[in-house]
Structure formats: C-alpha cells, structure tokens
Amino acid sequence: MSKKPLFPQLNGMLYGGDYNPDQWLDRPDILAQDIEYLKKAKINCVSLGIFSWSSYEPRENEYHFEWLQQVMDNLYANGIYTILATPSGAKPAWLDKNYPDCLRVDNMGVRYHHGDRHNYCMSSQNFRNKLKNINTLLAEKFSHHPGLLMWHISNEMGGECFCPECQKKFIEYLCNKFDNDIDKLNKAWWTTFWSHKFSCFEEIEPPFANGSIDIMGLNLEWKRFTTWNMIDCMKSEIEVVKSFNPDIPVTANLMNMYNGLDYRELAKEIDVVSWDSYPRFHNDWESFEDTMREFSYSHAVFRGLKKDKPFMLMECSPSSTNWQAYNKLKRPGVLRLQALQAVGCGSDTVQYFQIRKSRGSFEQFHGAVIDHAGIDNRIFREVSEIGDILSKISSVAGTTVKAEAALLFDWDNRWAIQDMQGLCNADKKYEKTLVDFWREFNRLGAEMDVIGTSDSFDGYKIIIAPMLYILRRDVAEKLTQFVKNGGQLLATYLTGYVDENLLCHLGGFPGENLSDLFGLYSEEIDTLFPSDRNGIQFRGCDNTIEVFDYCEILKIKDAEIIGRYTDDFYKDTAAITVKCFGEGSAYYVAARTKAADLAPIFEQMLKNVGIVPNKMPPHVLYHERSGDGERYGFYYNLGENQIDIKNVKGIDLASGKEIDGELVLDKYAVAVVKF
C-alpha cells in the first residue's frame, strides 16, 4: 500500500487544536503572543470559528469577518494552517428569537429555550436558510485562503428533535421507505400487537416519552431517521463549502461510541474521519492499562469508518477536562502516551481542546495548551515535547494500520439490543462486550479492525461477531461465504434473533440459515442475576471458566462440542462449539464469560489461519503502521516500571538511536521504531 498523507502541505503530522481568538479581539498583545507560543510547541495548525456565529453576525445581516481574515493571515504568515469550522455548533441569540422554529423540541413535545449549543432543529427551513447564508459568506471569503487546510462541519453533531417539522419529515421518510404502503409498514412493525395498526402514515408519531415507545420497529426507524436527517443537514453545509473550492476536504468531529447517530452512514459523506477523545484516566474502577487499551479500541472504531486512509484525533485535553464527574489531572507522561497512541492507531494528527483557556464561562477551567498563567508549566512542556516527537516521526504520515482480524459492530444492532425487551433490561452490555473481545485480541498481539456488517470482509481471516442480534440475509450469506472460503468466525449468544425490522426469525436462532453454519440452534436463553454464576468446562481438561449474565441452551445438530455447562438444569449441555464448514470454522460461544477466558479459542483461530501474533510483555501496548514498504512499530509502556522488550531491531525515531535487539522503555514511555 502506498502512503496517503492527509495533508501533503505539512510534510508530516498535523499538530494543533481548537482556538478561539474571537474571545480575545480586544487583546492583540495576547493574540500576538499566542503565535509565538504555538511555534514554540511546534503547533502547525489550529481549528477556528467553531462557535463564532455571533462574532461573524452579531446582529442579523450585520457581518464581521475582518477579524478572521487577520487571524488567519497572521497564523499563515507564521507557518500555521487553519481548519475552519462552519458555525452551526452554536446559534446566536437573535436567531432563536427571530426564528423560534430553529429551537429543538424534546421527547415530551416541549420546545427548548435559547442557550447551550449543539441544538438546532435539523429540519427548520429558517435555520437552514440562515446557515446557508453564513456558510456562503464564509466560504466565499476563505475557501481559497492559502492557509485553509480543511472544513470542520459544525461541532459534535448529535441529539434529536421532535418538532412538528421533524415529525412531518419522519412521515415522508417512512412513506419513502415503505413505498407509500401502510400495510407494508404495519407488517414490518407487527402493529396488530396492542392494536397499534395505522390506517395511514399521518397517524404515526415519533417515539415521544409519553407516547408510543412499544413498537420496536418504530423506535429503530426513528433513530435511523434522526441519522438521515442530521446527515441531510450536514450535507447542505458541505454542499456550500465545496461549491467554492471542491479541493478542500471536509470532516466532522465525532464522539467516542456516541449512541445517537449511525456514524457508518455519516462517514460516507465526509472526506476524513475525525474524533474527540476524552478517556477517564486513573479512575477508581479499572486499571490505567484497561483504559488505554479501550481507547485503542475506540481508535479502531473510527479507523474502521474509512479504512483506506489515516483519521484525525480532532480533540483531546492537554490536561484535565472540566465536565466529567471527577476531573483528574493526567499524570506526567500520560498525554504523550495518549497522543502517540492515536498516531500508532492510524491518526495523522494530534489536536487539542483547547489552545488557550477561555477567561470566563463554562470551560474556563478546562485544560489547554496555554494556561491563564502562560506557558511556564508542566502541561506546556509536555505539549512541546510531543510537538518535537511528531516532527521526528513525520515519515509515518500517510501510512495505515493493517489488520487481518475484524470485530463486527453496527449502530442499529446496538440500538436494537438496547431497546429489546427481555434479558437484563437495564443494560445488556453490548458495548462492553465488544471492547472486552477487542482488548483480548490486542493483548494476544493481534491487530483488529472494527467494521460494520455492510463492509467488505475481504482481506480478513478472522471475524468476531459478538451479539449479532439483527441478522440480515445478505450478512448471513456473507458470513457463510467467509467461512466456506477458509475464514474463522466466532459468534455468541444473541446471534441472529431478528431481521432488519426487528421481526424474529422463525425456525430457530440463529436465523437465515446460520444455524446450519454453526450446526446448532438456540433453544432458550437464561438471564442470570448479578450474583449468579455458572461455569464451562473445556473438553478434555479440568479447568472451568466462569459464566455470568447469559447462558443460551443449545440444541446441537452437527457441531462439535468444545465446552459444556457445569451447573444448573442445563449442566453438561453444550456451551461452546465449533463446526468445520468448507475451508474454515464457525465457533459459537453460548454464554457470557470473561474475554480472557476465551484466549485459547482465539489463539486456535489465529493458528488455524497462520497469523503469528506479536505478543508483547505484560503492560506493553503495540501498534504498527506501514506503507510504501516502510514499517513503523509503536511501543507503549503502560506499566509503572521499566520494561525491556526483546527482538526489536530498527531506529528509534525520537532519539535517532539504533535498537539492536532490546528496547528499554521507562514508565509511560513510548518508542516509535522504524524497522
């Protein structure tokens, strides 16, 4: 694969963050000083204008772009590029006052007051008109500025709106989806249940909290609609900026495991994926190492949205945040780990929220590159050190991470599981299960992508499909083909229960003929109380692994039984099975266990397809990027003590030293080795 740097102008990595000079226009001394600070930290790009609508247009139709022109010019003259945002992340007060339909309506039908941010009604024509106007003026003036690197559409789009206009659009969306045939919809949503049959589309309402929340198909379709509507609004923004200069790429900053939008759909409409990462380091419920590995998983999720190119770490805090329950400081060295972890996982950028702390309001105590007191502090020193390292690893830009194993994750599967009435209603832990599986492969030394069921499975040798509750026919066929051609597939309890409209598959789970692929069907599923335990004993050995939360009781057709339950009325029945199918194998794990307890199965799967894992010593995280025949190993010491890693040969890019066999990493140290 050849290297595809996101920003060839930069000759390497992008280093920057959100900057709000419009908060400081009466302090030109500070703005001039900031540029010197940025250069000192080797920052080569800032994101501007994210919340600047009221600075551009303080009163309706009164415009001020001169400050932006000056700031962008000054930055560019000093070698600092700009990512320019469209300002829809927050609305000016006059807009909501003059056009109240721009305000959202909540799920009880109550319209919001003006304030806060990320809260426009996506359907309001007044909003779209005013947005188009301000975006047109911005793009007209700045889309050919030599310092402009990229457009940043809005900010962290999310939420939903239940206003009459959105309801109207929802109905149109449904008419379109169900071919204007209300019977088709009634059938798909099983509305005869509780007398919910609709006689026409106009009777359908969104799932108001005090309305209809008991039609699973409707709930899911509302989520899909909200994604569609948000994307539609986003596309209207993209259209404007692209019309002035189609060569400037666009991104939208996404949020970690955000539940409200199907990011796979959204990613199709942007050029580059970027995301905002705020781990809760040093917490009191998991190890530092687990948090770090979980965030490698998150990077893999975002990487998987556009696999052929690097992504961007758009935001992270240089220090603490201010909005979490406990805003703990990052310990020395942790920012370096976090920044270079993103790069190791495939990001071509490290960006912060925020460059300079705002003096007042909500985020005045949020971590920043430049503190109220200036730059003579630990944070700025750490930020500068990272700037220095990024300049030394510039040749990594444009390389990508290659994985031969993939984890399947779909947003609509997630929504459907959350909404499913049954099992443990409080939390079915789908998201946690995904992370646990991914982390275990990571510990074993196998890189893993996170992809959707609609993505191509080509190039993968292993697919892990936890809790694949929604099973479409095309996906079942793809999985069957995958195994037939030599792939290793592992599925779990809750596989293949419903179709894309959430109607149960008839004839046994998993549906769509997957019961033939696995050689079994699930007869019942048991939900355990939190203190209940069962066990699984592996065939031919004495050790038993612990089982909690869910146990499916299986009827075996022609699968081989690898493990059996140790307790309860289903003692000795099958809990883990495998079936050889075509050239490959299909594993089924019928109960929830710790992912680490399944390591022997994962290792067997890796062996079956000849993947030799690159297993690291304990507490070492490893990622690799490659392209144009170059390979870069990223080694991270997540532990408290110095660690020696054997068999490493190459150049440590930060120090320039040759490593000939042994790489020594101090606590929280990172090495980027060019092999």
Closest separation in Å from C-beta 362 to ligand GAL: 8
For residue 14 the two structure tokens come to: 């992008």
If one asks whether residue 365 binds ligand GAL (CB under 6 A), the answer comes out as: no
Closest separation in Å from C-beta 252 to ligand GAL: 11
If one asks whether residue 278 binds ligand GAL (CB under 6 A), the answer comes out as: yes
What residues have CB less than 8 Å from 647, skipping those under 6 apart? 661
Q: Name the one range near ligand GAL by CB under 6 A: 185-193, 313-321, 398-406, 546-554.
A: 313-321
In the complex with ligand GAL, the residue whose CB is nearer, 277 or 515, is 277
Mark whether 286 is an active-site residue. no
If one asks whether residue 275 binds ligand GAL (CB under 6 A), the answer comes out as: no
For residue 25 the two structure tokens come to: 């226009």
Closest separation in Å from C-beta 102 to ligand GAL: 20
How far is the C-alpha of 589 from the C-alpha of 536, rounded, in Å?
10
Mark whether 140 is an active-site residue. no
If one asks whether residue 353 binds ligand GAL (CB under 6 A), the answer comes out as: yes
If one asks whether residue 412 binds ligand GAL (CB under 6 A), the answer comes out as: no
Closest separation in Å from C-beta 446 to ligand GAL: 32
Closest separation in Å from C-beta 18 to ligand GAL: 6
In the complex with ligand GAL, the residue whose CB is nearer, 222 or 275, is 275
Closest separation in Å from C-beta 152 to ligand GAL: 10
What residues have CB less than 8 Å from 570, skipping those under 6 apart? 526, 551, 553
What residues have CB less than 8 Å from 60, skipping those under 6 apart? 94, 95, 98
Report CA 675 to chain centroid distance, whole Å: 30
In the complex with ligand GAL, the residue whose CB is nearer, 156 or 512, is 156
In the complex with ligand GAL, the residue whose CB is nearer, 147 or 318, is 318
If one asks whether residue 315 binds ligand GAL (CB under 6 A), the answer comes out as: yes
For residue 61 the two structure tokens come to: 């139709």
Number of residues that bind ligand GAL (CB under 6 A): 11
Q: Name the one range near ligand GAL by CB under 6 A: 106-114, 290-298, 317-325, 507-515.
A: 317-325
Q: Name the one range near ligand GAL by CB under 6 A: 240-248, 316-324, 447-455, 556-564.
A: 316-324
In the complex with ligand GAL, the residue whose CB is nearer, 160 or 512, is 160
Quick check: 267 and 273 in contact, CB under 8 A? yes
How many C-beta neighbours within 10 Å does residue 640 have? 10
Handedness of CA 276, 262, 403, 274 (dihedral sign): negative
If one asks whether residue 321 binds ligand GAL (CB under 6 A), the answer comes out as: yes
Closest separation in Å from C-beta 155 to ligand GAL: 5
Quick check: 18 and 46 in contact, CB under 8 A? yes
Task: Render 110-166 in DSSP notation, one character per residue.
Answer: PBPPS-SSS-B-TT-HHHHHHHHHHHHHHHHHHTT-TTEEEEE-SSS------SHHH
Active-site residue identified among 160, 265, 294, 315? 315
Quick check: 323 and 653 in contact, CB under 8 A? no
Q: For the window 149-168, what string marks contact with ligand GAL as x by the rule CB under 6 A? A: ------xx------------
Helix (H, G, I), strand (E, B) or coil at 538: strand
If one asks whether residue 357 binds ligand GAL (CB under 6 A), the answer comes out as: no
How far is the C-alpha of 314 from the C-alpha of 132, rounded, in Å?
24
Active-site residue identified among 156, 221, 237, 294? 156
How far is the C-alpha of 487 from the C-alpha of 481, rounded, in Å?
9
If one asks whether residue 449 binds ligand GAL (CB under 6 A), the answer comes out as: no
How far is the C-alpha of 606 from the C-alpha of 609, rounded, in Å?
6
Q: What are phi and psi of 579, to 5 degrees?
A: -135, 130
If one asks whether residue 276 binds ligand GAL (CB under 6 A), the answer comes out as: yes
How many C-beta neighbours within 10 Å does residue 474 have? 12
Residue at shortest CB range from ligand GAL: 353
Q: Name the one range near ligand GAL by CB under 6 A: 77-85, 96-104, 127-135, 315-323.
A: 315-323
Contact set with ligand GAL (CB under 6 A): 155-156, 276, 278, 315, 317, 321, 323, 353, 363, 366
Give me the active site residues, please: 156, 315
